[in-house]
Structure 1
Amino acid sequence: MDVLGWIIVIALFLVGMAGAIYPILPGVVAIYLALFVYGWFFTFEHYNALFWIIQTLILVMLFVADYAVNAWGVKKLGGSKASIWGSTIGLIIGPFVIPAFGLVIGPFVGAFLGEMLAGSAPGKSVKVGLGSLLGLFSSIVVKIVLQLAMIIIFFVWIF
């Protein structure tokens, strides 16, 4: 039973890390769930209030950062609310429409189209699309760092 518990915990950690790059996967939620799976299979004894406060704060920071960093990238290069919405929609739909490159092309096209619909010139719309890519790549870095921190804190706490 211990082996099964560790397999599930590690699988959830891997899904979580993959979710940092592929937004359709539950990312940080999978990592947070792994904490509970460990407790159910082994023990919650290692966890105390400080552990849960730290992990929950990181979880909340990840949810906020995921959207805020993308919006920052679009706004940094002059994007409107329409381009932020377009970028977000493109981020979600892109991987389904173009599986190999949709993660990058989706937010760019979404921000570009959103900005065009807002009445901007094509040149500005391209610039805003590039801002969405800046936000996307920045968001991925932030998510990887914070999710790794959650996993490291987990291992430090239980050992």
Structure 2
Amino acid sequence: MTYLFWTLIVLLFVVAFVGLVFPIIPSVLFIFAGFILYGVLFSFEPFNWLFWLIQGLFVLLLFGADYVANMIGVKKYGGSKAGIWGSTIGILIGPFIIPVLGILIGPFLGAIIAEIVVHKKPINEAVKIGLGSVVGFVSSVFTKGIIQIIMIAYFLWMVL
């Protein structure tokens, strides 16, 4: 039975990593679900206040990394708030319109469209901003992946 319980916990963590490339999946909720499931099935004893405080700080880092990486990627290439919003909307709807590649094409097109429509930027400048949004998204995925690995490693350190 223990193997089944650990399999469920690991599956929750795997879904959290899938959420890195499909932002519609709330990664952090699946990580916390793994923590809670462990507590319910085994024991909450390893989870003291310091554990929850540190994990909470990691959650703030996850949200901050997402926003900051996208913002830096767009701003570095001359984008505006409209480009950031367009990129964010593209990240959310891209995978549904174009499966697999939509995760990269969505923010790219979202930033381009927003910059052209809102600020009337020339196409070559808007494309550069779109590329910046993709760079920001990829760096965000990488950063959030590292943070999630640290969260899970800390969890495992506390329970094993």
- TM-score, normalised on structure 1? 0.96
Shift of 1:44: 0.4
Matches for 1:68-147 after TM superposition, within 5 Å: 68-117=68-117, 118-147=119-148
Gaps of 5+ in 1: none
CA-CA distance at 1:148 after TM superposition: 0.3
Cα deviation, residue 127, structure 1: 0.7
Q: Helix, strand or coil for the counterpart of 1:29?
A: helix
Deviation at residue 20 of structure 1 after TM alignment: 1.5
Q: Deviations over 1:25-72 (max 9, x none)?
A: 221221111111100000001111111111111011101211221111
SS of the equivalent of 1:120 reads: coil
Give yes or no for contact 1:94–1:106 (8 Å, CA) kept in 2.
yes
- Percent identical across equivalent pairs? 47
Match of residue 23 from structure 1: 23
Cα distance in 1 for partners of 2:20, 2:35 equals 18
* Structure 2 unmatched ranges of 5 or more: none
TM superposition outliers: structure 1 runs of 4+ over 3 Å: none
TM value normalised by structure 2: 0.95
Distance in 2, Cα, partners of 1:30 & 1:67 = 20
Distance 2:158 2:76 in 1: 39
Cα shift at 1:5: 2.2
Cα RMSD (Å): 1.1
Alignment length, in residue pairs? 159
